Structure 1
Amino acid sequence: MLLDLLPRTALAGTRLPTASDLVPRPHDSARLFDHGRVFPADTHQPTPRTMSNGCRQLIVSILRTFPRMMVRAPTGLPPFVHPLGCGLHFAQGPDAGGLDDGWAAVQQFEAAPNGAGFIPLRPLAACIGVAHIFVARTANSDEFLWQTIEAEHRRIRAEFTPGETLAATQAMMLYTTMRLMVSGYEYFQANRGVLMTLNDLSRRFSELCPGPFSPAHMRLHRPTWEEWIFEETRRRIAVVCFLMTLVVGSEACLAILDPPSLLLPSSRALWEAKDRWSWEREFDAAWAEIGTVARHHQHAGPRLDTIGDLAVVKNGLSDPRFGAGRAGAAAAAASDALDSWHAGLDGLGIMLAAVLADH
């Protein structure tokens, strides 16, 4: 669940893993591709290494754009906030405004002109207002800004539906980014209120939606657009938590202790599809491409689902899914899979690629 992704103690100078720590050890191979949970229970301690300043600066430079993206809502939202999903409760019930009446919500979203169908839930609606204050802040407005954010911290604890809890989590992550921009990661050494609120939200979500917070990409049947948004939003929140943890520094964080199991975000084309028809077309095309690669290379098609998968391919390690023992075919299949993943990158993918390249 999300609780396992969040830093429990922020420490200055924490030594953090780099790309080599993201490659699974041989004895981890059996559990690396088991997506029944976010992280395996039997985590191992990675070899500590220091994150390079260049990689840290790149990640922070992208994180810094998120508050400004909120100002441009509903266009150009941060890559973990979906313009339709942020308005759905994702609750099972006729009055919940979630999955049961998602079709009506999608129709309203698609029919509304010029973003008029963008109706975020209260936590994110408030966050948009705060983002406007943050972007236009002055020395005289700082006190009001942080008092407003602190009030949102307290109010957010009253959210109850899965959608509201996700929206509250997204808002808190954006507030964390704002504080990181102004005060630096040293701030979190003594001020853990934001992190504690994120932990509380993760516990609440696990009670509302038992099971893995970040669900596997693989499914027996194609989900509906709104079901996929619900799952992909959670996968992307998990990735942002991981990246923030790398920047802020933490101990006892499973995202650091066992990063290979972290699920990768989907392609930008899937995430930014403007309507149900466009999403279905991109979804079917993505799975068709996997089948084409499999037929071309005459073995099980390489599927990049996790950071571990990505690290295996980028580091050229042999793996049964890439035709171990058949170096030529395996290398070609891995290269095709990596090229396909790179072609679909958005901001989250770029940050993950930077982490993998940080040797």
Structure 2
Amino acid sequence: MSFWDTVAQEQERIYDLRCLPSKWVHLASAQAITIYLLLLTSNRDNVLQHHPNLPITLLFTLRTNFEHLHRMLSGYTAPTKQPRCRQTWEDWVFAESKLRTATVYFILASCYDVDYGLPCDRDIDHKFGEIELPATKSLWEATDEVSWNKVRDLAIPAQGRAHPVESSETRLNYTNLVELNKLHGGPECRATMKCDSGLESKVQTWYKKMDELGMLVSLCSVMGD
């Protein structure tokens, strides 16, 4: 049995799990399917020869996973406040993981002709520009809730630490990067766009703290503007 025979079987197994209520199962399934899609792009001709329908079935399954994930947590954001309580590390990891998985998909879709997958083509659907940028490297790589809270507290202004329930992290999105690239793109762009010093400062801060996925997103924003 070849590797892609195994992938085809795994896709069917993952699709059979679609009715399970566990958000972590759907997240892990979406991550696995995304990895298979990435591998498929570098083996496209060989895969299509033996499994011509695999790209469509993978994308169909990915869409199903994200439909369930959207019902459990809407959008592509990692909110930092909840009513009457501070967000838990587990909830943050789930939201951030979903965001990052979607980011990889949209990067893939920007490089290849992906016309069936996550909702992203209609006016009412999610678009790449709406996705928040990946969290900082130190937050994402925190190994437990204690270390995550320490990093998170350092990122919250003093007034926010005094009222943690009312404070929230301001997250940039992909459109912010594209807008800033256009601003720096040449005289014709600068003549028609007003520089937002606050936005530029936030982006520069994000650049300093981003991880490897952030680097990839930043590169895409330069290539795609």
Q: Please give the per-residue CA displacement for 1:4-57, whole angstroms capped at 9, x wherever unaligned.
A: xxxxxxxxxxxxxxxxxxxxxxxxxxxxxxxxxxxxxxxxxxxxxxxxxxxxxx
Equivalent residue in structure 1 for 2:35, among 150, 174, 177: 174
Q: Please give the per-residue CA displacement for 1:255-294, whole angstroms capped at 9, x wherever unaligned.
A: 7974321221111110001222211111112223997xxx
Structure 2 residue identity aligned to 1:192: I
Equivalents in 1 of 2:14, 2:138: separation in Å? 31
Q: Who is 2:153 aligned against?
A: 284
The alignment covers a number of residue pairs equal to 194
Post-superposition shift, 1:218? 4.6
Equivalents in 2 of 1:290, 1:314: separation in Å? 32
Q: 1:147 to 1:173 in 2, by over 3 A?
A: same
- Stretches of structure 2 that go unaligned for 5 or more consecutive residues are 161-168, 185-193
Q: Who is 2:176 aligned against?
A: 309
Equivalent residue in structure 1 for 2:138, among 234, 244, 269: 269
Contact 1:290 1:303 in 2 (8 A): no
Q: Point out the more displaced range, 194-203 or 247-256.
A: 247-256
- Stretches of structure 1 that go unaligned for 5 or more consecutive residues are 1-142, 292-301, 318-326
Q: Who is 1:109 aligned against?
A: none
Structure 2 residue identity aligned to 1:254: C
Equivalent residue in structure 2 for 1:249, among 113, 124, 130: 113
Equivalents in 2 of 1:162, 1:246: separation in Å? 27
Q: 1:256 to 1:181 in 2, by over 3 A?
A: farther
TM-score when normalising by structure 2:
0.72
Contact 1:217 1:305 in 2 (8 A): no
Q: Please give the per-residue CA displacement for 1:217-273, whole angstroms capped at 9, x wherever unaligned.
A: 352553111111111111111111111111222347527974321221111110001
Q: Please give the per-residue CA displacement for 1:299-327, whole angstroms capped at 9, x wherever unaligned.
A: xxx9442112333344449xxxxxxxxx8
Q: Who is 1:233 aligned against?
A: 97
Q: 1:231 to 1:150 in 2, by over 3 A?
A: same
TM-score when normalising by structure 1:
0.47
SS of the residue aligned with 1:157?
helix
**Which has more helix, going by share of residues?**
2
Q: Who is 2:76 aligned against?
A: 214
Equivalents in 1 of 2:100, 2:140: separation in Å? 10
Q: 1:278 to 1:335 in 2, by over 3 A?
A: same
Post-superposition shift, 1:338? 1.8
Q: Who is 2:2 aligned against?
A: 144
Identity of aligned residues (%): 22
Equivalent residue in structure 1 for 2:13, among 134, 155, 158: 155
Q: What are the residue-to-residue correspondences of 1:24-63 with 2, within 5 Å?
A: none
RMSD value, Cα = 3.3
Equivalents in 1 of 2:222, 2:69: separation in Å? 33
Structure 2 residue identity aligned to 1:202: F
